[in-house]
Amino acid sequence: SSLPFLLEVARTTRRGAVEVGVHYCVAMGASASINDGAQRVSYEEAKGLLGSTFEDAVFFEHARPEDNTINATALVPLILSEGGRTVTWLCDTDSGPRIFAPSVAAKIEHAHRTGFQAVEWEANGFTYRMDWAASCQVNTATNKTRTVFRQLVSWEFEGDYGYKAYDDATVMFKIEAAYWKAKYGDLDNYVEHININGYTYAVDFRRLDMIKQTNTRSRRSRPLRRVEGGCLPAAATAPATEADPV
């Protein structure tokens, strides 16, 4: 199966990474969008897309009561979630790792989870495909390759009894997206406002070694930390091919 509702075309950003199909700006709508959020996905379609990570409770939290469908946009952070952590896909460029836009990452992640299916995407007039056996993206016009990595990340806040991971995949996804925007200097004032359990928090990324969230109502602040679960080549568990014997 595939992700038909994910657009594959991304606009040019201010830096040069886009020429290899990688986007440093990961805000939804800034580098890629999902049909303007108009398309809705049924319970069965969502279950098929999310596979073993599908949870009834999470689906119905986002579903429209009258027809039990979910906005396609809401599926992206759920697809990019595994074991309570956010999944990021990165490309090794000349200037260091660059994160893929969420819609592209969701396409790659879905292909990864469903038997390393063939997957392509477009960016700035070029088409790219994944070479699972070689752990790289390939520019189909120039055949230039770049190594691709899959990384699991957990975001934790300091609670009264130590650090605790967020239990909402969407919240963790938004913080991770804002982190990369801040890292590449594309986050306004280096602060992102995120709704958590009905409260608005200002997440301050001005110092990436000292990130904190502040409740905008109570003004209480808590430190945050980013915990990486390892960065593996895309082909770490890919099936063998004729060019990659077991």
Reduce the secondary structure of 92-155 to three states and give it as a string.
Answer: EECCEEEECCHHHHHHHHHHHHCCCCCCEEEECCEEEEEECCCCEEEECCCCCEEEEEEEEEEE
Q: Which residues pair with 191 in a beta bridge?
A: 204
| Length of the chain, in residues | 246
> Per-residue pLDDT for the chain (246 aa), expressed as one digit of tens each?
344 333 322 322 223 232 223 332 222 222 233 333 457 888 888 877 777 677 777 777 778 888 888 887 778 888 888 888 889 999 988 878 888 888 888 889 888 888 888 999 987 789 999 999 999 999 999 999 999 999 999 999 999 999 999 988 888 888 998 998 898 888 888 999 999 989 999 999 999 999 999 999 999 999 999 998 865 555 544 443 333 332
Q: What gap in Å lies between CA 212 and CA 97, rounded to an integer?
A: 24
Q: Is the pTM of this model over 0.75?
A: no
- H-helix or E-strand spanning residue 177: helix 169-183
φ/ψ of 193, rounded to 5, equals -95, 125
- Both tokens assigned to 174: 């938004």
- Both tokens assigned to 151: 């990384």
